[in-house]
A = this chain, B = another copy of it.
Amino acid sequence: MTFELDKKNILGKVDKSQKGKIDTGIKEICDLINNNKNYYTTSSCSGRIVLLEADSNKKNKAKWLFVSHESTDFESISKKLDSKSEVWLRQEGAILHICCKDLESAEKLINLVKSIGFKRAGMISINKRFVVEIISSEHLCAPVIKKGKKIVTDEYFSVLISEANKKIRKNKEKLEHLKTNLETFK
């Protein structure tokens, strides 16, 4: 009963993420997974476009200046483009951590998501719990401010945003595909 008890406990807990709730873009997928007796989600992100400020004086300290889980536009993101240190524009694909009842369930899930185009899927924990990580591989990652100075022209920054939007849309299509497949996944 440990798996069932853990599932009940985890799903009953308060969300500790920075956002404090599941992104709407991935909520239905999490629900489909959690309604399956062999699985439950421990964390998720539907994919995002972010401005990340890295303070080079403080290692491992990074701050989000902007976050969007949807397509965005030049004006919205430019307003947040202000820093005295270093800023990167990043687009990151969806990520899901799913606890599986047993090895067989983990294998079935990995096979499903790989077959529909999620290249990065693997079991990241084997000992106490069987946890599968699924990552959508679209990404973009480019510096936009260095030493407090904007290093991209407006024109190039627009291209970066347009490319990030394209990738976030591709990521959404893959999530839709995953959702459809999960509806009949036993």
Interface, chain A (partner B; CB < 8 A): 103, 106-107, 110, 120-127, 132-133, 139-143, 146, 151-153, 155-156, 159-160, 163
Cross-chain contact A106 with B122 (CB below 8 angstroms): no
Cross-chain contact A103 with B126 (CB below 8 angstroms): yes
Cross-chain contact B163 with A159 (CB below 8 angstroms): no
A159 neighbours in B (Cβ, 8 Å): 143, 146, 151
Closest B residue to A124 by CB, please name it.
B122
The distance in angstroms between the C-alpha atoms of A163 and B95, with both chains bound, is 25
The distance in angstroms between the C-alpha atoms of A121 and B103, with both chains bound, is 17
Q: Copies of this chain, how many? A: 2
| Nearest Cβ on chain B to A179's Cβ, whole angstroms | 23
The distance in angstroms between the C-alpha atoms of A155 and B146, with both chains bound, is 12
The distance in angstroms between the C-alpha atoms of A127 and B122, with both chains bound, is 12
List 30 interface pairs A-B (beta carbons < 8 Å), by A numbering.
A103-B103, A103-B126, A106-B126, A110-B124, A110-B126, A120-B120, A121-B122, A121-B124, A122-B122, A122-B123, A122-B132, A122-B133, A123-B123, A123-B126, A139-B139, A139-B141, A140-B142, A141-B141, A141-B142, A142-B142, A143-B159, A143-B160, A146-B159, A151-B155, A151-B156, A151-B159, A152-B156, A153-B153, A153-B156, A156-B156
Extra contacts besides A103-B126, A107-B127, A143-B159 (9): CB < 8 Å: A103-B103, A110-B124, A122-B123, A122-B132, A139-B139, A142-B142, A143-B163, A151-B159, A156-B156
The distance in angstroms between the C-alpha atoms of A15 and B155, with both chains bound, is 44
The distance in angstroms between the C-alpha atoms of A142 and B156, with both chains bound, is 10
The distance in angstroms between the C-alpha atoms of A142 and B108, with both chains bound, is 35
A155 neighbours in B (Cβ, 8 Å): 151
Cross-chain contact B143 with A141 (CB below 8 angstroms): no
| Nearest Cβ on chain B to A97's Cβ, whole angstroms | 11
